[in-house]
Amino acid sequence: MEANPIPQTGAPAPKSNRNIIIGVVAALILCCCCLVTGVGGYYGYQAYVAAQQAVEDIQNFEIPEIPTDVPFVDPSGTPIVPEFDTSGEIPAGGLADEETRLIAWASVQIVGIMSGCNAPTVEGTTIAVLTQPDANGNWVEEWNVNCGDGSFKAYTVNYTNENGVINVTVDTP
């Protein structure tokens, strides 16, 4: 038979630190959780303040007024409003077909207006071939454009063949 030892009443029982260790660990975990919550709350609040500031900045943003009918001004200070030739006519001559000459004419008018030829017109505008088409189908023409005020300006127009499509570029004078 087994004998169970009988505890002696006069001897002191061994002290257990288990409850103290569990309490300290629980307190440390609670402190860490509080610290993480505090740090997360701080950065969350900072993000909230930044978002509120961004919303306020967007609400207070003033859209600048964009001027619409801005006239060109020549050096003498006289406002000049450019005029496109919208008659549908295109200058005759050159090697390009009618559709390509229309594209070239629109390009020449834009470059002309930017370079001081304020009202390019078809009447009096001439086209001269400077370079005949090369093996790739590229050629160069000179357009002597009537600026509408009695003056003429010459523009070099380059025709480039890219995969069967003719691209038009106008050199600025």
Q: What is the pLDDT of residues 117-130, one digit of tens each?
A: 888 999 999 999 99
Retrieve residue 82's tokens: 């450019």
Mapped onto helix, strand or coil, the DSSP state of residue 90 is coil
CA-to-CA distance for 43 and 163, rounded, in angstroms? 59
Share of the chain above pLDDT 90, in %: 56
**Cα–Cα distance measured from residue 130 to residue 138, given in angstroms and rounded to the nearest whole number:** 11
Instruction: Output the pTM of the full model.
Output: 0.54
CA atoms within 13 A on the CB side of 35: 6
User: Which tens digit of pLDDT belongs to each residue from 5-43?
Assistant: 665 565 565 667 888 999 999 999 999 999 999 999 999
Q: Is the pLDDT of residue 102 over 80?
A: yes
Task: Work out the mean pLDDT of the chain and round it to a whole number.
Answer: 84
Q: Which residues contact 105 (CB under 8 A, 6 or more apart)?
A: 85, 90, 91, 122
Per DSSP, 3 falls in state: -
**8 A C-beta contact, residue 127 and residue 92:** yes
**Tokens in use for 59?**
């609400």
Give how far the C-alpha of residue 24 lies from the chain's centroid of Cα atoms, to the nearest Å.
60
Q: How confident is the model at residue 80 (pLDDT cuts 50, 70, 90)?
A: low
